[in-house]
Amino acid sequence: MIMELKTEDEEGRQRALDRYEVLDTQEEKPFETVVNLVQNTLNVPMCAVSLIDRDRQWFKARRGLGVRETPRDISFCTHAIKHGEPLVVNDATQHPTFKDNPLVTGDPHIRAYLGIPLMTPDGYNVGSLCAIDDKPREFPAHEVNILASFAKIVIDQLELRQIAASDPLTGCLSRRAWVEKAEEEIKRAHRYDRALSVAIMDIDRFKNVNDTYGHPEGDKVIKLLAEVAEAEIRDQDGFGRYGGEEFVCLMPETALNEAESVAERIRHAFSDRETETAKGDTLSCTVSVGVAELTDFETLDSVLTRADAALYEAKNGGRNCVVCNGTTNADVKVEA
């Protein structure tokens, strides 16, 4: 199916890029392989998988480029993504749009550029795969076609990453993706001495739902909690399915008391909602939550264990409540 290109919908484009959860991630072999192959096949000194974020271009993989990102407004790739066509610049010093560009007049002294938009299956150009030379050159049609083929391979990899990162039932982060994100955010929190909290939540008496109404109805309840939680958290937070009816929420830049408020909002919102069974009955469930804030030098395992201990306490304390595991022994329980 040929998808219509959506070049005017910048908000949708940014959402499509954000869905990939790829910005500021580590190097990954599939993308490194592509830039290696492009460099060798097209015989260029520079090439990159460039992703266009709100105000920057960020390189998921790069060869011959010293920086990991540049301002968006000077990037060639931001021009490449405006159209559905390859952007070909044979000599940037002669090009009316690019001759005064700092990437042309200064390092890395771009002279020739070939960029193929990276178009998602739903029609958004999230970046480009580009081949760059510091000498003027032409890119014959077969080279354009080869780069276009590699661009599709890049999208294949981004899509596959997304499947791995998404829980198929709820669409929220998979356990693997959540752990990866949490590890990254914890490193960042320690490096910059920032607050970070995690919450673990578990749907109360969920086994009864499955036993009484069957698994399809249980799935509806699980999906409802994910939907409610996603609506209550911020873009930078990470909500993931940890397994079964257990979910985890990562809250960067969030101290314990703020995290507790978020957890309370989720708990209230979930208990206020109902699902309708195939037989027309309505089902209402509650959730118990354990919250913990990261301490100095603490690992993900450790902070999760403390949040889990708080969840255990919430379950033992009557369910449908939020319990915080403080950094001291003075835990705080918030009654329903």
Partner 1 sequence: MPIAPEDLVEKTIAPLEELGIPEQLQRSLASHQANLVTLAKNLLDGGQSEDMVQQTLDAVFSAYRAELAKTIMSLREHP
Cβ-based nearer residue to partner 1, 61 or 77: 61
137 binds partner 1 (CB under 8 A): no
- Shortest Cβ 248–partner 1 spacing (Å): 12
Q: Which stretch binds partner 1 (CB under 8 A): 11-19, 33-41, 56-64, 254-262?
A: 33-41
By rule CB under 8 A, what string of x and - marks binding of each residue 168-197 to partner 1?
A: x-----xxx---------------------
Alpha-carbon distances, residue 32 vs 48, 101, 113, 153, 298 (angstroms): 9, 27, 19, 12, 32
88 binds partner 1 (CB under 8 A): no
39 binds partner 1 (CB under 8 A): no
317 binds partner 1 (CB under 8 A): no
Contacts to partner 1 from residues 230-259, by CB under 8 A: 241, 243
Cβ-based nearer residue to partner 1, 34 or 189: 34
Concatenated DSSP letters of 119-148:
E-TTS-EEEEEEEEESS-----HHHHHHHH
Is 217 a catalytic site residue? Answer: no
* Beta-carbon contacts of residue 172 (< 8 Å; ≥ 6 apart): 166, 226, 229, 230, 239, 240, 241, 247
Q: Which stretch binds partner 1 (CB under 8 A): 67-75, 98-106, 137-145, 222-230?
A: 137-145
Q: Which of 161, 181, 267, 306 binds partner 1 (CB under 8 A)?
A: 161
Q: Which of 74, 88, 148, 336 binds partner 1 (CB under 8 A)?
A: 148
**DSSP 3-state of 252:** strand
158 vs 213: CA distance, rounded Å: 38
β-pairing, 332-334 vs 246-252, is unpaired
**Active-site option among 245, 260, 293, 298:** 245
β-pairing, 287-293 vs 196-203, is antiparallel
- Shortest Cβ 59–partner 1 spacing (Å): 18
149 binds partner 1 (CB under 8 A): yes
Cβ-based nearer residue to partner 1, 144 or 334: 144
Q: Which of 124, 150, 213, 239 binds partner 1 (CB under 8 A)?
A: 150
333 vs 115: CA distance, rounded Å: 56
Tell me the two tokens of residue 333. 């329980």
Cβ-based nearer residue to partner 1, 102 or 243: 243
Q: Which stretch binds partner 1 (CB under 8 A): 35-43, 62-70, 217-225, 303-311?
A: 35-43
Alpha-carbon distances, residue 254 vs 32, 207, 216, 246, 305 (angstroms): 34, 32, 35, 21, 18
215 binds partner 1 (CB under 8 A): no
124 vs 155: CA distance, rounded Å: 11
- Shortest Cβ 12–partner 1 spacing (Å): 21
Number of H helices, E strands in the chain: 10, 14
85 binds partner 1 (CB under 8 A): no
Under rule CB under 8 A, how many of the chain's residues touch partner 1? 30
197 vs 178: CA distance, rounded Å: 14
- What ranges make up the beta strands (E) of the chain? 46-52, 56-63, 69-71, 87-89, 112-119, 125-133, 196-203, 238-243, 246-252, 275-276, 282-283, 287-293, 322-325, 332-334
Amino acid at 53: D
**Hey, which residues are catalytic here?**
245
Residues binding partner 1 (CB under 8 A): 29-30, 33-34, 36-37, 41, 142-143, 145-146, 148-150, 152-153, 156-157, 159-161, 163-164, 167-168, 174-176, 241, 243
